[in-house]
Amino acid sequence: MGCAHGKCCGHRPRSSDSDSREFQEVSQFSVHGKHILTERSIECVPVPSRNFRLEYSVLTQRGYYPYSPGKENEDSFCIRTQVQGNPNLHFFGVFDGHGLFGAQCSNFVRDRLVDILANDPRLLLDNPANAYSSAFVRTNHELHDSEIDDTESGTTAITVLVVGDKLLVANVGDSRAVIALKVGDRVLAEDLSSDQTPFRRDEYERVKLCGARVLSQDQLDGLKDPDIQTWGDEESGGSDPPRLWVQNGRYPGTAFTRSVGDSTAGRIGVIADPEVSTVQLTPDHLFFVVASDGVFEFLSSQAVVDMVRLFFLFLIDWQPFSTQCILLLFYLYVQSVAVLVPHQQQIDIE
């Protein structure tokens, strides 16, 4: 959802990790005036301690902005395999920039977060969650101190660290990670993260205590009663969501309650502290999806899982998987997106 005035500036994303050389641009499409960038469709990394491998696909595209034809992609991604040289430790992240310098913020966090994380010895010791949280907070401070103007620009971040047969998920903002769970003959979506927006009562109350006004755009403009502090849920209220404003101004207007950057919004409760959760993988966990809100603002978690599952069922060759999924999204929606899809595959032992 981003800032009140849209996502204004961007830069073509790339993988920033040690595997970046593996991701070559393989094709470029222009359909109905929209611009797609596709990345190499599939890579594979083993997780030897638990006898499985991750096959992953990644793709990002710039949205359709008819009044800003030169607008670049603000979304970026990072894949770092074998973090700290450990073959069982792999990092996946998606970063959704917003504001005038959103692309620069997104790319900065993409580059720095995983480096800070990889250099923290706690990651392999007894407190990886603290290492994760510290990495986000330090990255936020470094962005504030950098030459990038993050006064009203920043990025959300959704990251998944594969630690053997566990997933460590850290989220800041309204991008999302979701996992597919096989239950009988059905495949169900389970959210690995919770969107941090004023729709959540706990986040609403937290930012109010920090001095934020929480109003939709129509309420700010006097078209609706500002005293009515209920907006339904994200699906029903998504077209005019509650946003954060300073007490006597019409800024910053963020529709999320956590981000990296956004120094002005930081004064009214927007923080970079992630919510960290752990998931134990089982053979019934088929794949997980890490994506920006350019996907989840328009599709439910279950719809995304169903779409991915569809291609597993009907595509003989998984190679064009990510491209096909994003092409379907591409015909329907206009925001910039970044999508990562790792798939768990057991290794046969002979």
Span 263-312, pLDDT tens digits: 999 999 999 999 999 999 998 998 899 988 888 888 899 998 998 888 77
Quote the mean pLDDT of the chain: 81
Could you write out the DSSP letters of every residue in 235-267?
A: HHHTTS--EEE-TTSS-EEES-SB-EE-HHHHT
CATH 2.40.30.10 fits 20-195+272-346, yes or no: no
Q: Are the C-beta atoms of 177 and 290 separated by less than 8 Å?
A: yes
Per-domain residue ranges of the chain: 20-195+272-346, 201-266
**Burial status of residue 313 (CB atoms within 10 A of its CB: 0-12, 13-18, 19 or more):** exposed
Span 123-136, pLDDT tens digits: 877 788 899 999 99
Span 22-37, pLDDT tens digits: 343 333 433 334 444 4
Span 209-236, pLDDT tens digits: 999 999 999 999 999 999 999 887 776 6
Confidence of residue 340 (pLDDT cuts 50, 70, 90): low
